Amino acid sequence: MPLPLFQVDAFTDTPLTGNPAAIVLLDRGSDDDWMQAVASEMNLSETAFLLPLDPEVGAFELRWFTPTVEVDLCGHATLASAHVLYETGVLSAYDGASFATRSGELRVGRADDDLLAMDLPADPVESWEPDADVTAAIGCEAVGGFRGNGIPIVELADEAAVRRAAPDFAALATTEPGSAIVTAAASTPGYDFVSRCFGPRFGINEDPVTGSSHCALGPLWAERLTRTELRALQVSARGGAMIVRTDGSDRVALLGRAVTVFAGELLA
C-alpha cells in the first residue's frame, strides 16, 4: 500500500532553505534494508520513519537514516516529523509527541510564536587539542578545540572564518571520526554563535542545519557566554537558525520552525 511521504525544510520558515528531511509515515514495522534503500533514494541528509505506537497519546517510534547509515540522533528530522504530525492533524495543536528512538525518549511540543520545542539529550564537551589532520582537512586555523560525543569541534577566530571554510571532504573522511564541526562567536546581529557541520564519512559532506550538533554547541556556548538562552545560526549555503535553551541539566531544548515543501506517496 502507498505510504504518505513528505519533504520538510527544518529550522526555517522559508521554503527551500534550512535542512530538508524526508518523512515516511509507516503503518507497520518495516525492514531495515528497505528503509536504508528509501533513504538512499531520497538522497537527503536524513530520512525519518515514523511508526505509530499509541497515536492517541502521541507515541511513535522514530528512526533516522542518512543515504548510507542509520544514525542515533537527528534533530532536524525530529523537528520535521513533529511538524508533519501537527500539520496532518495526527497531533492536535496542544498535544506533544513522544518519540522512542535510539537516543531514548525525545519529546516535541508547541512553544510560543509557532515554534516547535524539542527536548534532546545534552552532549557534554571536553577540551581537545585540535588534530593536525582534522584542521588540515578543514583548511582553517583553529583557536580552540573540543569534543562532543567524539566529534571534533573546532573553534575558529570569527564568523567570517567559519563562512570561509572550504574542507577537503575526501581528506576529512579519512580522519577519526570522519566528521567535524566548526564554530565561532556570531557577528551577524541577533545571533550569539555560528557553526557549520561536516560529515563526509556518513554520506553528508555538509549538513545544512544540524540539531544534534547543538546538543554540544549549546552547553559549550552557554557556559562561555554565561547565558541559558542563545540564538544559533548555521551558516551553510542554505542556512538555518534555532533557539537553544540550557539549564545545566542533562537535557537541551532546541526551538525552531519547519515548512512542508511537498507531500506525496511512496509507492515502492
pLDDT string in tens for the chain (268-residue length): 899 999 999 999 999 999 999 999 999 999 999 999 999 999 999 999 999 999 889 999 999 999 999 999 999 999 999 999 999 999 987 789 999 999 999 999 999 888 999 999 999 899 999 889 999 999 989 999 999 877 899 999 999 999 999 999 999 999 988 999 999 999 999 999 999 999 999 889 999 999 999 999 999 999 999 999 999 999 999 999 999 999 888 999 999 999 999 999 999 9
Question: Hey, which residues does 5 pair with through a beta bridge?
Answer: 24, 264
Under 8 Å between Cβ of 247 and 259: no
Cell 511512496 -> residue: 266
Provide the whole-model pTM.
0.93
Q: Which residue type does 206 have?
A: E
Would you call 46 a catalytic residue per the annotation?
yes
Local structure of residue 10 (DSSP, 8 states): E
Alpha carbon distance 233, 168 (integer Å)? 23
214-229: b (≥16 Cβ within 10 Å) or e: bbbbbbbbbeeeeeee
Which of 46, 155, 159, 206 is catalytic? The answer is 46
Alpha-carbon Rg for the chain in angstroms = 18
Domains and CATH numbers, the chain: 3-119+255-266 (3.10.310.10), 125-248 (3.10.310.10)
